[in-house]
Amino acid sequence: MAGQIIPRGERVWLVRVFLGRDPSTSKRRYHNHTIHGNKKDAEKYRNAVLRERDLGTFIEPSTTTLSEYLNQWLETSKARVTERTHRDYTDLLNRYIKPTIGNKRLSDIQPLEIQNLYSDLQKRGLSARTVRFTHTVLSSSFKQAVKWRMMVQNPASLVDLPKMVRKEMMSLTPEQAKQFLEKAQEDRFGILFHFALITGMRPEEYLGLQWKDVDLKKGVVAIQRTLLWKRGGGWNFGETKTPRSRRSIPLPISLAQRLTEHHRKQAEERLKMGAEYQNYDLVFASQNGAPIMLRNLVRRHFKPVLKEAGIPKTFRLYDLRHSCATLLLAAQENPKVVSERLGHANIILTLDTYSHVLPSMQQSASEKLENIISFKVGTL
């Protein structure tokens, strides 16, 4: 059946195209679309729909709004991503996407609207990294919509992304590291800072560490989980960032000894508090055994230690992880070993992240090679 063009008023036409019968009900299905313009415009649209119908590529425009669709997509993605990743996805979409274009129909979203949205986010002061991450999440949701035949194509694939500007990474020099650890000894959580610098673990990894993950006799710690604080309050243990993040890290004897003493003191605190102590078996915990809030740890303990050690206040707690990697690479440690210690997905990520250390390594490599093959230049 050819499509119908039915006049609905001055320069208004209803295009009606038969799509076949519904497999479950056998009822006839039609695509109806109103065209504002002349009859040739209506004929052009009708012919395009007929062509796509016959080729099997026609997708009937969805009436679902973008916000409604994103809720569906987030629900289905729970089985594919970690709880932490799902929370990050939800936060980004709720904060930056839904309030601006969430009310538009999914099938009406155009690349230019997404491009304008990204530009507005940058004008609001968001970093290129945040905009690009938001794009990754939004684009992923559109890819699924295409698979579900709710969209013809992914509109996010046609936009330009802001250029990433790599920020200068902060890391401690050997002298600063020694000064930092010396001043940290006077703080309640000095052992935590020492542990973070030596192991290179992420904050959520060492804050979620339990004593059952630590073998003090062998001097080995196993990363099995992370500590996640929920928005609005509450916490829970979560999965590691990636499968490679599950790893074991050997401890130097001095740190293993400090942990043994820390364990003893923690046991004394638990006995003193009795029933009030919240025993979650955490290696690093608040005085009552509860998980440590990152914000409080930084403000009340980390920043004061930095000040005492004469280290710039712009240095972040996470930079202890960067310092661990930088110090090891500068000491000519094998990048593969450093990558495994950090729990990176692959060694390429490690080399790209810490490329600033490579020049000195290359110079050292050249000198080593020169010593290996050196020979005296004499006269013939």
Q: Are 179 and 310 in contact (CB under 8 A)?
A: yes
Token digits for 93?
A: 């979409």
In terms of domains, do 193 and 297 share one? yes
The pLDDT value recorded for residue 310 is: 96
- Residue 93: HSE in the Cβ half-sphere, 13 Å Cα cutoff: 24
CA nearest neighbour of 61 among 170, 189, 152, 156: 152
Secondary structure (DSSP) of 301-322: IIHHHHHHHT--TT--TTHHHH
The pLDDT value recorded for residue 353 is: 82
The pLDDT value recorded for residue 49 is: 80
What are the per-10-residue average pLDDT scores of the chain (380 residues)? Answer: 83 87 79 87 85 74 88 92 87 95 91 96 92 95 89 90 79 94 95 96 96 95 92 84 89 94 94 93 95 95 97 94 92 90 88 74 65 60
The pLDDT value recorded for residue 316 is: 94
Domain that holds residue 127: 66-158
Q: Is the dihedral of CA 345, 348, 354, 357 positive or negative?
A: positive
Chain segment 31-71, per-residue pLDDT in tens: 888 889 999 988 888 888 888 777 776 767 778 899 999 99
The pLDDT value recorded for residue 55 is: 75
Among the residues of the chain, which ranges form H helices? Answer: 39-55, 66-77, 83-92, 98-101, 111-123, 128-147, 174-184, 190-199, 203-206, 253-273, 294-297, 303-309, 319-330, 335-342, 347-353, 358-373
Q: Give the end of a domain, one of 127, 158, 189.
A: 158
b/e burial code for range 111-147 (CB count within 10 A of at least 16 → b): eeebbebbeebeeeebebebbebbbebbbbbbbbbee
The pLDDT value recorded for residue 299 is: 96
The pLDDT value recorded for residue 169 is: 75
Torsion of CA 55, 57, 60, 65, to 10 degrees: -170
d(CA 54, CA 51): 5
In terms of domains, do 288 and 154 share one? no
CA nearest neighbour of 193 among 80, 92, 276, 308: 308
In terms of domains, do 143 and 263 share one? no
In terms of domains, do 125 and 183 share one? no
The pLDDT value recorded for residue 378 is: 54
d(CA 204, CA 308): 25
In terms of domains, do 262 and 312 share one? yes
In terms of domains, do 279 and 191 share one? yes
Task: Look up the CATH number of the domain holding residue 354.
Answer: 1.10.443.10
The pLDDT value recorded for residue 197 is: 96
In terms of domains, do 230 and 207 share one? yes
d(CA 152, CA 82): 29
In terms of domains, do 50 and 182 share one? no
d(CA 318, CA 369): 36
Kindly state whether residue 289 falls inside one of the protein's structural domains: yes
The pLDDT value recorded for residue 380 is: 47
Tell me what percent of the chain is helix, strand and coil, each rounded to the nearest 5.
55, 10, 35
